[in-house]
A = this chain, B = another copy of it.
Amino acid sequence: MAVTGVAEKPATKGTYPKGVARRKQIVRAAARIFAQYGYHAGSLRNIADDVGVTSAALIRHFQDKEGLLTAVLEYWDEESQVASSTAPGLDHIRQLPAMMEYHLTHRGLIELFLTLATEASNPEHPARDFIVKRYDSTVASLSSRIREAIDAGEVFLPAEQVESEARGLMALMDGIELQWLLQPELDLVALFSSHLDHTLARWTGEVQPLSNSTEAFVVQGIA
């Protein structure tokens, strides 16, 4: 019922070069349609027309609509991992704007995630599990990077505040990307970078960029 883990691809089918290529073509089209209309309102016929086949072909490949959704989520997972850095500690955080820059040129990635995420606020939604797990793992990853920075002495934050900071960063990114979807003329990278700078200044205990002043003013233990 719910789409959670990795779908088992048919052992024989789907491994022939031609089939694989077609499969990918369908998944890409489906990602586009689901991003634009959502899962429920995005129709198989619409996707099929985009590819240039019939909806029956889609069913052959993915069994049903939910099977296609699973494949789309896997595809999104891979594609969006391209954008995220593997750097440790604070370097990872500092590269978040670059990730957003990448999103800017791959609008579909943002659109798909936000569309499915809000749609999945309905507990019955087949992508619900995937989305919730994705959030959890992103929070966990960001938290780990922050803790690395704390251990390295670059950041000063009480341990119990780390997750809240991670969630705040994610919320900020999601919210800015939502605004950008509605008003593409917005400079989302500049907006995020500016707020990230303030956040990093607070974490590192520095004041603001201008005054690189003498006394280290450590703001920690704020709860």
Q: Which residues of A contact B (CB under 8 A)?
A: 36-38, 40-41, 111, 114-115, 117-122, 128, 131-132, 135, 161, 164, 167-168, 170-176, 178-179, 181-183, 186, 191, 194-195, 197-198, 202, 207-211, 213, 215, 217, 219, 222
Q: Which residues of B contact A198 (CB under 8 A)?
A: 202, 222
> Are the C-beta atoms of A38 and B36 separated by less than 8 Å?
no
A68 to chain B, nearest CB (A): 16
Q: Which residues of B contact A215 (CB under 8 A)?
A: 211, 213
Known contacts A36-B121, A168-B172, A174-B179; 13 additional CB pairs below 8 A are: A36-B122, A40-B40, A114-B118, A114-B121, A115-B118, A121-B181, A168-B195, A175-B178, A208-B209, A208-B210, A209-B209, A211-B215, A222-B222
> Are the C-beta atoms of A164 and B194 separated by less than 8 Å?
yes
In the complex, 13 of the A-B residue pairs with CB atoms within 8 angstroms, ordered by the A residue number, are A38-B40, A117-B118, A118-B118, A121-B182, A128-B182, A135-B179, A168-B172, A171-B171, A171-B175, A171-B179, A175-B178, A207-B207, A211-B217
> Are the C-beta atoms of B208 and A132 separated by less than 8 Å?
no
In Å, the complex CA distance between A135 and B183 comes to: 10
Given contacts A38-B41, A122-B37, A210-B209, contact A176 B181 (CB under 8 A): no
A168's nearest neighbour on chain B, judged by CB, is B195
Given contacts A38-B41, A168-B195, contact A111 B119 (CB under 8 A): no
8 Å CB contact of A115 from B121, B179, B183, B197: B121
Q: Which residues of B contact A128 (CB under 8 A)?
A: 182
In Å, the complex CA distance between A168 and B168 comes to: 11
In Å, the complex CA distance between A215 and B197 comes to: 19
> Are the C-beta atoms of A118 and B181 separated by less than 8 Å?
yes
In Å, the complex CA distance between A41 and B38 comes to: 9
Which of A117, A167, A183, A207 counts the most B-chain CB atoms under 10 A from its CB?
A: A207
Q: Which residues of B contact A122 (CB under 8 A)?
A: 36-37
> Are the C-beta atoms of A176 and B182 separated by less than 8 Å?
no
Q: Which residues of B contact A114 (CB under 8 A)?
A: 118, 121
> Are the C-beta atoms of A182 and B41 separated by less than 8 Å?
no
A84 to chain B, nearest CB (A): 18
